[in-house]
Amino acid sequence: MGNLTATRPPQPWTAPTASDPVAATLRLPGSKSMTARALVLSALAAGPSTLAGPLRARDTELMAAGLRAMGAHMSISDDERWLVRPHPLVGPAHVDVGLAGTVMRFVPPVAGLADGRITFDGDPHARTRPLGPLIGALRSLGVRIDVTGTGSLPLTVLGAGRITGGEVVIDASASSQLVSGLLLAAPRFDRGVVVRHVGPPVPSAPHLRMTVQMLRAAGAAVDDTTPDVWTVEPGPLTGRGWEIEPDLSGAVPFFAAALVTGGEVTLQGWPRSSAQPVEQLRSLLHRMGGEVTLSTTGLTVRGSGVVHGLTADLSDVSELTPALTALAMLADSPSFFTGIGHIRGHETDRLTALAREFAALGADITETPDGLEIRPRPLRGGVFHTYHDHRMAHAAAVAGLAVPGIEVDDVGCTSKTMPEFPALWSAMVTGKS
C-alpha cells in the first residue's frame, strides 16, 4: 500500500462549484507520456532532436535533469520547443526521480549505457513503487546494480558504457513502464532485446503501443506481433522533430466537467491520429452520458447534465480512474470499476485513497482487491486529502463542481503534470479567462 499519511497545509484550495454549464475551449500542455519517451529517445539518438509542444512539469523536468546529469545536452528554456543534443553518457551522476514512475523506470536502463556510477533516489513514497522486476531484468542483461533495500529505491547503476542485451523474462503486471523502460534503451544494447512478459496481464496497454510507435518513428526495428513478447533489434536511433500531442489524461477532468454541468469543453490541437487511448476515452464518456466528437477545432465533449453509472474494466486506462470515480459519485446509477489493482502502486495507493476521501464526504464506496464499487448518494463538503497525488486533486475538483465546500489540502501537487491546473480549472468554471 502507498503512503496514506494525510497532512493538511494551512491554505487549502476550495474547489469551485459550477452555477452554470461550462463552455470552454482549452489548449492544454503536452502529453507527459510522449514527452518522457521523446526525451529518452532523443538522448540516445545519433543526432539532435526537437520537441514541439512538450509538457513542462515536475515529472518531465526531472527526466530532462536526469538525462542531462549523465551528459545529454538539454535546452528546455523555451516552453514551446525543447532541443536535445546527445553526448556520450558518463558518471558519476545522481538522478532525482521525484515521484515520477517514468523517471524511475525509463532512466536506469539508460544509465546502464553510461560509463560510470549513477545513483537514483526520489521522494519518500517513490521508495515503495514497484521496481524489483526492472532491476532483475537489467541484471539478467548484464547491468551491475547495487540496491540497499528490497528491490526498490535508492539504487546505484554501475554503468559499463554498454549493455549486452538479449532475452529477458519479466513480470510487468505492476506497470507497463517496466517493459517500456527496457524497450526504449534497447536499440543501443549490443544484441538488442527480447522481452517476454510472464504473469497477470500488463496494464495500460496503450502506453506500450505508444512506446513501440515512437521507437519505430525514431528508426528502431520493433516486433510486437506475438502477445506479451517485444523484440527490439540493435541499431542507431535517428534524431528527429517530435510533435507532442496534448495530454489526454490531463484533459479528462475538464471533459468530466462537461458531463457534470451539461456543458461543452473542447481541447484544441488534437491530432487526427493519436498515440493516446482516445477511442477508449470516447467509449467511456459516451456510456456515462457524454458526446465526444473530433473536428478541425479539436476534441469536444458535450454533456447532458445527467451522468450515468458505468461498469468497466479500466486496466488499459487506469490513469482515468480518479476522475471517473468522481463522475461516478454524481451518477444516476451505481458504477463498478475493475482491472485497476495496480494503481495501488502509483503516486499513492489510489484505490484506498479514493475510497477513504470520498467516504469522508459521505459517499457509499467500497474498495475491492482490483477496483471500486460506487453507489451514488448526496455528498457533503469537507477536506479532501491528495497524498501528494495530482490525480486525487483532479478527482476532488470534479466532485466540487456539484458539491459546495470541498477543500483540497494540497492543490500544488498538480504541478507534477500540470502546474496551470488550478488557474485553468477556476477560469473554466467561472467563465473568466
Residue 177 assigned to a binding site: yes
Residue 32 assigned to a binding site: yes
Of the listed 319, 347, 357, 407, which one is catalytic? 319
Residue 77 assigned to a binding site: no
From 65, 66, 59, 62, select the one nearest 32 (Cα to Cα): 59
How far is C-alpha 336 from the geometric centre of its chain's CA atoms?
Answer: 22
How far is C-alpha 113 from the geometric centre of its chain's CA atoms?
Answer: 25
Q: Which neighbouring-strand residues pair with 268?
A: 298
Instruction: Outline where 98-225 has alpha helix (H).
Output: 101-112, 132-140, 177-185, 205-217
C-alpha cell read off for 16: 469551485
DSSP strand pairing (382-384 vs 406-408): parallel
Residue 129 assigned to a binding site: yes
The H or E element that residue 392 is part of is helix 390-400
Task: Give the residue carrying C-alpha cell 468522481.
Answer: 326
Cβ contact 180:105 at 8 Å:
yes
Residue 27 assigned to a binding site: no
Which residues, including other chains, have CB under 8 Å from residue 201's CB and lie 6 or more apart?
Answer: 173, 315
Report DSSP state, residue 30: B
Cα–Cα dist 145/383, whole Å: 43
Cα–Cα dist 32/248, whole Å: 9
Concerning whether 167 is annotated as a catalytic residue, the answer is: no
Cβ contact 287:304 at 8 Å:
no
Handedness of CA 340, 341, 342, 346 (dihedral sign): positive
Residue 391 assigned to a binding site: yes
Instruction: Outline where 115-265 has alpha helix (H).
Output: 132-140, 177-185, 205-217, 248-261
Phi, psi of 201 (to 5 degrees): -55, 145
Residue 11 assigned to a binding site: no
b/e code 23-57 from CB counts within 10 Å (16+ = b) = ebebebbbbbbbbbbbbbbbbbbeeebbbebbbbb
Residue 251, phi-psi category: left (phi > 0), alpha (psi -120 to 50), beta (remainder): alpha
Task: Give the residue carrying C-alpha cell 523502460.
Answer: 181
Cα–Cα dist 103/40, whole Å: 10
Cα–Cα dist 1/342, whole Å: 10
Residue 295 assigned to a binding site: no
Residue 176 assigned to a binding site: yes
Q: Where is the binding site, in residues?
A: 32-33, 37, 101, 129, 175-177, 204, 319, 346, 350, 391, 416
Q: Where is the binding site for phosphoenolpyruvate, in residues?
A: 32, 101, 129, 177, 350, 391, 416
Q: Where is the binding site for 3-phosphoshikimate, in residues?
A: 32-33, 37, 175-177, 204, 319, 346
Catalytic residues: 319
